[in-house]
């Protein structure tokens, strides 16, 4: 298998005699988790294509963004390339306590939050804060939510309960969750073309920042007390009256048996370290340019050959 080939080649290149090779790594498939947003789909395919090029068998299995960590802990899935603090922190950390491996933190800095196009500020100058946005809730009203404003939320399985935050902060909004990420961008594009007020869930890194001018809405910075001490925050009678982290981590997750079952593959995935730009480019190829995640992954590898080579070195 791959580790032994590289070891032998390295030794021969140094003028050394190749040792007797140990037993080959497992031929069992490495199961890579796939979630329902574009950068994750592209990058999971990048990982899979790279591992396949090194002789490994790879399978892709879709999973709920919260339940995936239980599956990884149990060994039903092997590796996840994107675990986001803003929506997955509790499930991720619980799984680590139960035996899942924190496989490292990317350089990418993430944020998941309510987001508005800049033109909204023309009608509501203070909309970049939750108090200012709430004071203008009426401009976001739809037939579905009247007399309250509509917040276009993410798919429900992403673990973001914005209805609870709205209640805790006493906001005049109704959270309407979409079924898939593509619907978020369709809603945004439609509103953007007409300069119609819209507030929706967004995240970074993402292709959105390269195509649309806008900003995240600032909520109270989260602290542990926000979630267990009602006296903390703007509402003294409720928990959850805060936003998401403004500079959050992005991690990798792995089954604890990966290092023993596929040590060469484990060495590769440990070296994977993605930046905001690399992830934004991955999502842009799918969400803006219409490529399939598989084709986008192939192109990403071509465009980032030096990065991929550093994983294999």
pLDDT tens digits, residue range 77-86?
999 999 999 9
Query: Do residue 195 and residue 295 come from a single domain?
Result: no
Helix axes 276-287, 293-303, angle to 10 degrees: 140
Q: Which domain holds residue 185?
A: 111-227
Q: Is residue 236 part of a domain?
A: no
Residue 285 resides in a domain: yes
Do 10 and 24 share a structural domain? yes
The pLDDT assigned to 13 comes to: 36
Tell me: pLDDT of 307 over 90.
yes
Measured CA to CA, the distance from residue 280 to residue 3 in angstroms comes to 31
58 & 118 share domain: no
Residue 136 inside a domain? The answer is yes
**CATH code, domain with 62:** 3.40.190.10
Shared-domain flag, residues 86 and 149: no
Whether residues 267 and 196 fall in one domain: no
Q: Are residues 118 and 45 in the same domain?
A: no
Residue 31: name the closest of 78, 71, 90, 75 by CA.
78
Tell me whether residue 232 is in a domain. Answer: no
Residue 128, classed as helix, strand or coil, is: coil
Residue 54 sits in the same domain as residue 127:
no
- Do 97 and 126 belong together in one domain? no
Note whether 121 and 181 are same-domain residues. yes
Q: Are residues 97 and 40 in the same domain?
A: yes
Does residue 89 lie in a domain region? yes
Structure tokens at 257: 């048996």
Under a CB-based contact definition with an 8 Å cutoff, are residues 172 and 137 in contact? yes
φ/ψ (deg, to 5) at 25: -65, 165
pLDDT at 159: 77
CA angle 140, 146, 149 (to 5 degrees): 25
CATH number of the structural domain spanning residue 207: 3.40.190.100
pLDDT at 1: 43
Write the pLDDT tens digit of every residue in 250-303: 999 999 999 999 999 999 999 999 999 999 999 999 999 999 999 999 999 999
**Cβ atoms of residues 171 and 134 within 8 Å:** yes
Number of domains in the chain: 2
């Amino acid at each position: 298998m791959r580790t032994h080939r590289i070891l032998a080649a390295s030794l021969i290149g140094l003028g050394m005699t190749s040792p007797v090779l140990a037993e080959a790594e497992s031929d069992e498939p490495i199961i890579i988790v796939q979630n329902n947003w574009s950068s994750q789909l592209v990058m999971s395919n990048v990982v899979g294509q790279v591992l396949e090029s090194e002789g490994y068998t790879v399978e892709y299995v879709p999973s709920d963004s919260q339940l995936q960590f239980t599956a990884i802990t149990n060994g039903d899935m092997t590796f996840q390339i994107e675990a986001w603090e803003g929506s997955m922190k509790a499930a991720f950390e619980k799984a680590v306590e139960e035996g899942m491996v924190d496989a490292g933190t990317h350089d990418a800095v993430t944020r998941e939050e309510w987001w508005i196009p800049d033109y909204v500020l023309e009608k509501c100058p203070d909309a970049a804060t939750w108090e200012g946005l709430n004071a203008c809730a009426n401009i976001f009203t739809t037939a579905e939510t009247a007399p309250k404003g509509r917040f276009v939320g993410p798919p429900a399985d992403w673990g973001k309960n914005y209805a609870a935050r709205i209640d805790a902060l006493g906001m005049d909004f109704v959270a309407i969750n979409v079924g898939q990420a593509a619907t978020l961008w369709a809603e945004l594009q439609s509103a953007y073309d007409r300069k119609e007020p819209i507030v929706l869930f967004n995240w970074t890194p993402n292709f959105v920042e390269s195509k649309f001018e806008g900003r995240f809405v600032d909520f109270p910075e989260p602290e542990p007390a926000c979630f267990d001490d009602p006296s903390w925050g703007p509402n003294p009678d409720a928990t959850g009256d805060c936003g998401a982290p403004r500079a959050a981590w992005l991690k990798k997750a792995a089954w604890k048996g990966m290092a023993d079952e596929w040590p060469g593959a484990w060495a590769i995935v440990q070296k994977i370290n993605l930046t905001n730009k690399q992830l934004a480019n991955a999502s842009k190829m799918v969400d803006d340019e219409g490529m399939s995640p598989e084709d986008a992954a192939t192109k990403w590898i071509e465009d980032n050959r030096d990065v991929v080579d550093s994983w294999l070195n």
